[in-house]
Amino acid sequence: MSDASDPSGTELHWRSAIELATAIRAGEVTSAEALEHFVARIERLDGPINAVVQWDLDRARADAAAADAALAAGGRVGPLHGVPMTIKDSFQTAGCITTSGAPELADHVPTEDAWPVARLREAGAIVFAKTNLPLFAGDIQSYNDVYGTTNNPHDVERTPGGSSGGSAAALAMGFTPIELGSDIGGSIRVPAHYSGVMGHKPSYGILPSHGQIPGMPGTLSQADLAVSGPMARTVDDLELGLDVLAGPDRWMTPAWHLDLPPARATALTDLRIAAWIDDDHCPIDADTNAAFETTFAAIVAAGGSVDTEARPGFALQKADDVFSALLFAALSGGHPRDKIEHMAADASDTPLGRVKRLTAARHRDWLANHERHLQIRERWAEFFADFDAVLLPVQPRPAIPHDHSEPQWGRTVEIGGTEASYMDLFSWIAPAGVGYLPATVVPIGVSGDGLPIGVQIVGPYLHDRTTLQVARHISFLRGGCPRPALAG
C-alpha cells in the first residue's frame, strides 16, 4: 500500500492488529480492502515459505463486507472488528477444511468453530485462511503429507518451528497481524523464537481449547500441559489476544469468571528480574549467550537490574525429567494398546527408548510424576516471592535445518559444535511447562548467520500480565521483530 493511501506511513501488512482495527474504525481502510491486501500479498510471496495452506475466502469476504456495513450503520464494534487473520490448522473452523496435517482429515470440514476461534470471531476478527503445522501438531518442525513443508522466512533451508510454525512464518512475512497458536511442548514458544516473532503461552487452564485437533473431532477432553494462546508482532497485540481468548471453558461457564491480576510493576526499575541461562544439563550456544548478555546490558543501562545467580529450588534436569514424563503421558492417547505394550518393553538406553517407556508409563508412574510436578510448582511459588519474572532461553540454539528423518526421537542436532539428541531442544521449555506458568517470547537479537533468537519470560502462575509487561520493556530495548529479506 502506498503512502498516499496509508496515512500512518506504515504499510498495511506491517501494522499491528490494534493499529489495523483502529484504522478500520476510523475509516482509513475498510475490512474488505485490508482482506484483499493480505490475500494479494500471500499470493505474491508465500511460494517459497508455504505458510498459508487453506483459504476460506468466500466466508471471509462476506464477513468483511458485513463488518464494514455494521461499522457504517453504527453497530457494535469488537476489539478486532474487521481485522483479517489466519488460524493454525489444528483449530477447527466451521465450513473450512481443518486437517491438523493428517491425511485422514484432508477433507474434514467442521460444523462448528473451536472455542478460541469462536472467541476471535466474536471480537470481530475475519478468519480468512489456515496455516501449516506438523502431523497432529506433534513436532517442532512444520511439515505433513497434506500440505508439505513450511520454511523459515529468514532461511528457507531451516524450519520456522512447530507446531505453530505456519503461524509464526505468516506473522514474520506480514501475512497476518495476529495468530492463534497452541503449546504443549513449546509449540508457541519455539516458532516465535525460530521465526523472530512474539508468542504468549498462558498460565495453564485460563484459556479453553475445545475443538482443537488432536484429539480427533468431537473430543471433549483437553490434554495435561496443553494451552492455546496468541502470537503476534507486538506485545500489545499479545495482551489483546489474551483478553479476547481467556475465560471459562464449557464446564465452568455458568459460575466461573477470570480476573487476571495486573502486572506486579509497570516501570522497568521496579520489576525484579532474574535470569537462568547457564546450566550443564543443556548449555546454550555462543550466539544465544551473546544475545542474552546484550539484553542484560540493555536492561541495566535503562535502569533495571537482572539477577543472574538466582535459581528456583530445583535443577533444570529435574524439571526436564518430570516435564518429559508428563508430556509423553499426555500424548499417549493416540496409540493403540498393542503399540503401548510394545513401547513399554523397549529397554534400550537411547532417547527413543526413553520416549517409548514414558509414553507407555502406568498410571501409578503418572501419579508419582504428578506429585513431583506439584512440588516444582511450589518451588516456583517460593521463587516468585522474591522475583517478578525470570528470563530463560527458549532453546539452546537458533532455528535448526529441516530434518524429517524417522523416528523423530532418533534425530540429532548440533548445539554449539556438539552433536546432541533432538530431545535436548526441549530442555529449556520444561520449567515453565511443568510449572503451568505463563511464558512470553520476544526476539532479542540474531545469530551470526542472521537467525532470530528469542527470550522466554516466565512469571508466577496467573501473572500473565507481568510477563507481558517485562516483554514490553525488553522488546523496546531490543528493537522488536526482525523482518526477513523475503518479506520485501
- Would you please indicate which residues are annotated as catalytic (active-site) residues? 88, 163, 187
Q: Taking Cα atoms as reference points, which of 396, 474, 473, 468 lies closest to residue 202?
A: 468
Whole-number Å distance between alpha carbons of 54 and 52: 6
- Note the Cα 170 to chain centre separation in Å: 13
Q: What letters, b where the CB count within 10 A reaches 16 and e where it falls short, cover 79-96?
A: ebbbbbbbbbbbbbbbeb
Do residues 186 and 177 lie in contact, with contact meaning Cβ atoms separated by under 8 Å?
Answer: no
**What residue type is 487 in one-letter code?**
A
Whole-number Å distance between alpha carbons of 456 and 479: 16
- Note the Cα 210 to chain centre separation in Å: 17
3-class DSSP state of 378? helix
Q: Taking Cα atoms as reference points, which of 393, 388, 395, 394 lies closest to residue 467?
A: 388
Q: Taking Cα atoms as reference points, which of 431, 438, 86, 427 lies closest to residue 260?
A: 438
Phi, psi for 441 (deg, rounded to 5): -115, 130
The number of C-alpha atoms within 13 Å of 222 and in the hemisphere containing its C-beta is 21
DSSP state of 42: H
Beta bridge partners of 231: 179, 199
Whole-number Å distance between alpha carbons of 96 and 411: 34
Angle between the N-to-C axes of helices 235-245 and 17-26, in degrees from 0 to 180, rounded to the nearest 10: 80
Which H or E run includes 87?
strand 84-88
Whole-number Å distance between alpha carbons of 99 and 407: 22
Whole-number Å distance between alpha carbons of 460 and 391: 12
DSSP state of 487: G
Q: In what side-by-side order are the strands of the sheet with 52-55?
A: 52-55, 126-131, 84-88
Q: Strands (DSSP E) along 352-484, which ranges?
A: 389-393, 412-415, 418-421, 439-446, 452-458
3-class DSSP state of 403? coil
Q: Taking Cα atoms as reference points, which of 6, 14, 10, 16 lies closest to residue 472?
A: 16
Q: Record the cell numbers describing residue 103, joined without a space.
A: 491425511
